[in-house]
Amino acid sequence: MMRTSLKFASISRRARSGAVAGMALLAASMNAGAQVAPPAAAPPPPSPFGGAAPAAAPAAAPTAAPVSAPTISVPSASTSGSFPSISTSSQAAPCPQTISTSSGSSTTSAAPSSTTSTVAAALNSYSAPLVGANSASPASGGLQQYQSAGVRPVPFGSELFCGGNITASTVGTVDPGYIIKTGDQISLYLWGSVPDASSTLVVDTNGNILVPGVGPVKVAGLAAGSVNKVVNSAASAVYRNAVHVYAAPVTTVPITVFMTGPVVAPGPYAGLGSDSVLAFLQRAGGIDPNRGSYRNITVRRSGQVIAHIDLYPFLRTGDLPAVSLRNGDTIVVGQQGPVVSVTGAARVPYTFELAGPSGTGDEILYYARPRPEVNYVALLGYRDAQPLNAYETLTDFAHQPLADGDRVGFSADALAESIVVQVAGAFRGPGSYVVTRDTTVGAVLAKLQLDSLADHRWIHIQRASVAAAQKQLLTESLARLQKAIYTNPAPTAALQQANALQATTIQTYISYASQVQPVGDVAFDENQDLNSVRLEPNDIIVIPFKSQVVTVGGDVNVPQTVIYEPGLSVRDYVKKAGGFDPLGDKKRILVIHPDGSLVINGRVEPGDRVLVGVTLPGHLLDVATALTQIIYQVAIGAKAAGL
């Protein structure tokens, strides 16, 4: 029969020393009454919906830092000389990973803004969506949980508004493809047979600049890279070759554009004529994730729509319509259309807005890009106010009609006919093998060339499912211990004070123990038929080398490793380590074998570890019981940690 052993591997050097150091610290405080400051409580693991899972033990819950609302400052434009200077900066809205779709409002705390602008005031009163983790959730179970919680992933494209400050400045060169318009500035230089001269010319309302000695030259409507050629052509009709002319756009016209619709902070925004629609969306804090459309954005001028913008082609292929904005233009973000949320095994697990009032699975497949292993799709939604639940193949889903509010989960349900297992330790050959699902430990061992120093007695396997069960067991034991140290009554005031000091030390030990990660060892009985033990995916077959040493640790005076001597008892080995510590448990001495299995007060063999536990006073019986369990679990892990 197989025995599940309790051997653990630590995740850090500090955790590696935790098993022994924790017990030593416990014993020292009980002897001397020393106070040991408890460690900072580790944050609980995140929940699938962005919050923190309840702690397993009655520890103080960490306080979450408030999420700051976006801060947008729009200083007024200042003019210095002939070059107006504009500095328009804003901070993009916080990037939520999961948004609330429930009827109740969910708000985030807004950080005080340093600006007195009306935009900042609007942001401080903005009710932001629920913020959570952006981890992929299970395809079917995750859909149910998300639906029950009223949350869904953030909109596709929301990363556009998660950047830092968005700044517009007149400093720098003008894009050669920029179209010159009224108000832009052109630098002009003359030299040669005329006195050297330079000036900055402003494009007038007729689209001209006035070139000295030449007259008006029309430049409005030209690409910035063509201005010099046109000006030189006009000058050559007047000046001889000895006169040289150079013209270059140096700044674009400052404009004010109005942002409206479901954006974080609607209102007027200063910018430059060369700025894109996307830049102004960023300055307004981005599109509201619950109300705004990424696919229906219009630019209006003098009451007329001059451009329609769908951000999805830009997000997928980089295509964005070129819109030359002018002073007084209005950018209108439309109302959000039908949405479909995606979770599970997809490269792009977001909430997608359909192009029309309804769509099909093909549209979601194009944008969500499921991973190669996906073969099934779970679908939750409503049709005529009645729940819809479907589970279909990827091919069928491509033709599946979709509606507003649908939730899609991609999953890989194909059962592999082969698995991968690993071999470690005293053998020669490859370390990984692809075998059929019904392959046994004995079948793999029969194919291996074992080293002459391989210790056949302690061959075992490490299994992920066992490691998970061991971690759960350890977590539950720690919870019981923590409950015991705070609820165990003391018969006298002196003992009550002593208990308080001991509780602090045990809490430190709990912190060490919580960092231990099991490795999932499964040990075999001496007469176990290994040809009957089937392997699971990612199992590791461990073949230990023969050893000549015995390690003695725990509550002994001088923990050390000694050479194995036949005939010595477990107490003899404790004597070699200086004998028992004053709080050492003389009745239950653990003997831990190389495969992770253990016996109490048993025979010691080469490669074993001898571990002495700790005893507690009788009035701490509940604490002692819980602590003994954990010491068994954690201290056994010291072998894997090299203690």
Q: Has residue 171 got a pLDDT over 60? A: no
Domain(s) of CATH 3.30.1950.10: residues in the chain: 185-251
In angstroms, rounded to a whole number, what is the distance separating the alpha carbons of residues 207 and 225? 16
In angstroms, rounded to a whole number, what is the distance separating the alpha carbons of residues 224 and 250? 9
Cβ-in-10-Å burial (0-12, 13-18, 19+) of 322 comes to exposed
Residues 406 and 342 sit within 8 Å (Cβ to Cβ): no
Residues 541 and 458 sit within 8 Å (Cβ to Cβ): no
pLDDT (0 to 100) of residue 500 = 67
pLDDT (0 to 100) of residue 413 = 80
Q: Has residue 84 got a pLDDT over 90? A: no
CA neighbor of 18 nearest in space, from 527, 511, 506 = 511
If one compares 471 and 49, the residue with the highest pLDDT of the two is 471
Indicate the range of 174-178, 432-436, 577-581 predicted with least confidence: 174-178
| Per-residue pLDDT tens digits for 456-474 | 999 999 998 888 888 888 8
Placement of tokens 């072998």 in the chain: 639
Strand partners, 296: none
The model's confidence at residue 488, banded by pLDDT at 50, 70 and 90, is low
Percentage, residues of the chain above pLDDT 70: 68
Task: Find how far residue 369's CA is from the centre of its chain.
Answer: 20
Placement of tokens 């102004």 in the chain: 280
Extract the tokens encoding 75.
Answer: 């200083």
Q: What is the DSSP string of 69-108?
A: PP-EE-PPPEEETTEEE--EEEEPPP--SEEE-SSS----
The model's confidence at residue 260, banded by pLDDT at 50, 70 and 90, is very high
In angstroms, rounded to a whole number, what is the distance separating the alpha carbons of residues 108 and 125? 10
Bridge pairing between strands 418-425 and 540-543: parallel
pLDDT (0 to 100) of residue 102 = 47
Task: Name, in order, each residue with C-beta under 8 angstroms of 254's C-beta and a sequence gap of 6 or more.
Answer: 77, 84, 86, 170, 183, 270, 271, 272, 273, 327
Task: Name, in order, each residue with C-beta under 8 angstroms of 384's C-beta and a sequence gap of 6 or more.
Answer: none
Q: Has residue 340 got a pLDDT over 90? A: yes
pLDDT (0 to 100) of residue 497 = 62
User: Taking all residues of the chain, what is their mean pLDDT, rounded to a whole number?
Assistant: 74
Q: Has residue 138 got a pLDDT over 60? A: no
Indicate the range of 188-197, 388-397, 399-408 predicted with least confidence: 188-197
pLDDT (0 to 100) of residue 367 = 95
Indicate the range of 117-121, 173-177, 265-269, 389-393 predicted with least confidence: 117-121
Give domain 185-251's CATH number out of 3.90.1280.10, 3.30.1950.10, 3.10.310.40, 3.50.50.60: 3.30.1950.10
The model's confidence at residue 423, banded by pLDDT at 50, 70 and 90, is very high
Task: Name, in order, each residue with C-beta under 8 angstroms of 94's C-beta and a sequence gap of 6 or more.
Answer: 67, 68, 69, 70, 108, 128, 131, 162
pLDDT (0 to 100) of residue 249 = 85
pLDDT (0 to 100) of residue 286 = 93
pLDDT (0 to 100) of residue 225 = 86
The model's confidence at residue 74, banded by pLDDT at 50, 70 and 90, is very low
pLDDT (0 to 100) of residue 416 = 75
Indicate the range of 251-260, 492-501, 614-623 predicted with least confidence: 614-623
| Per-residue pLDDT tens digits for 575-584 | 999 999 888 8
In angstroms, rounded to a whole number, what is the distance separating the alpha carbons of residues 606 and 567? 12
In angstroms, rounded to a whole number, what is the distance separating the alpha carbons of residues 97 and 48? 11
